[in-house]
Amino acid sequence: MIRVVLDANQFASALIKPGSNPALILDCLRGNLFQLVISESIVAEIKRILLYPKLKNIHGLEKEEIDVLFDNLTAFALFTPEQLNLRVVAEDASDDKYVNCALEGSADYLVTGDHHLLNLERVGNTKTIAPKDFLDLLSVL
């Protein structure tokens, strides 16, 4: 099974835009079409973003509901130990956590819309890929 890191915006977009490519990717995750690779710091960032008042007004979930959602989404995820601390994304060091997670978890893909990460194209054996391209890839597997 392919291993995949999703950046925080994939989760946020999925919740605020049902039917979007990120929402379809989460449907594929629920359908067990790939294994999610994630770290505690990525989960913390996602939860923090989802609690921004502007986003909370759109998705309407309370903190407890978000916690349950992530418990379900990450029940079979591979959590990385967060021991790597490589500095890879010069333009935005906060994106390094995704690269480090992908490398530690031997991820095949890092799915992102972030141009800083997409510009890397590949880090180690991990290919950075846009959501639409990832969905296209899943459709042929």
- What's the pTM value of the predicted model, to 2 decimals? 0.95
Q: Return the SS3 of 38.
A: strand
CB atoms near residue 133 (< 10 Å): 15
When divided into structural domains, the chain yields a total of 1
Q: Is the dihedral of CA 82, 85, 91, 94 positive or negative?
A: positive
Each residue's pLDDT tens digit, 82-93: 999 989 887 888
Range of the domain at 64: 3-140
- Distance, in Å, from the CA atom of 36 to the CA atom of 96, rounded to the nearest integer, reads 18
Match 């994630």 to its residue by tokens: 38
Which CATH number fits the domain that encloses residue 123? 3.40.50.1010
35-90 pLDDT, tens per residue? Answer: 999 999 999 999 999 999 999 999 999 999 999 998 998 999 999 999 999 898 87
Q: Return the CA Rg of the chain.
A: 14
